[in-house]
Structure 1
């Protein structure tokens, strides 16, 4: 059984009830001025998390990659894939299923 999802209104009411409960038990909310940042140097630019140069020189090795891929699945590359018949549903004009048929494709 799927649990019913809560609406935005229900989530908002739950959050509001939790806030009121926190405040009635003596909790306190500190006012923070608008635009104040939590970063140590808020006036400077953001620090990049990526160090080093942009793109490194790389040697393309497509023949090596192809050889590795061929070794992974040698039996699949040699045998042709044999198709087996499968069941296909036949629908009427209204999209309702009528019957099943075996089809070889």
Structure 2
């Protein structure tokens, strides 16, 4: 199994990659603080929920029925007996003596 790298090792590796990039002639563009990436930064944010409403959707009853049938599989499993459970038998002082299988 390969040992995981520590934070210091990851930080040193990342710093080495940055230094290598800068030494090969790469450059980093600095963005002034407060500058937005939106085209119209002064305009209010547009809602992603504008457009079609829920009334325009097409109902698919067979898909909904299939999903509901998968949600309730317990109705067909009621004829199975529950599995026995292990129960500890204690002596008069509360010390464990043995385990027994108990059907509840």
TM-score of the superposition, structure 2-length normalised? 0.54
Q: Distance in 1 between matches of 2:29 and 2:100?
A: 70
**What is the distance in 2 between the residues matched to 1:89 and 1:21?**
64
Distance 1:45 1:102, change over 3 A: same
Equivalent residues in 2 for 1:7-86 (5 A)?
Answer: 7-52=6-51, 69=69, 76=76, 79-86=78-85
Shift of 1:40: 0.6
Distance 2:49 2:101 in 1: 56
Q: SS of the residue aligned with 2:46? A: coil
Shift of residue 23, structure 1, vs aligned partner: 0.4
Helix, strand or coil: the match of 1:13? helix
Return the offset for 1:24.
Answer: 0.8
Computed over aligned residues only, the root mean square deviation of the Cα atoms, in angstroms, reads 3.6
Residue-pair matches, total: 83
Distance 2:73 2:8 in 1: 54
In the alignment, structure 2 segments of 5+ residues that lack a partner are: 56-64, 89-96
How much does 1:25 deviate? 1.0
SS of the residue aligned with 2:36? coil
In the superposition, relative to structure 1, how do residues 30 and 101 fare at CA in structure 2: closer, same or farther (>3 Å)?
same
For the 8 Å contact 2:87–2:99, the answer to whether it is kept is yes
**Uncovered stretches (5+) of structure 1, i.e. residues with no partner:** 57-64, 91-97
Task: Pick closer, same or farther for the CA change 1:49–1:75 going to 2, 3 Å.
Answer: closer
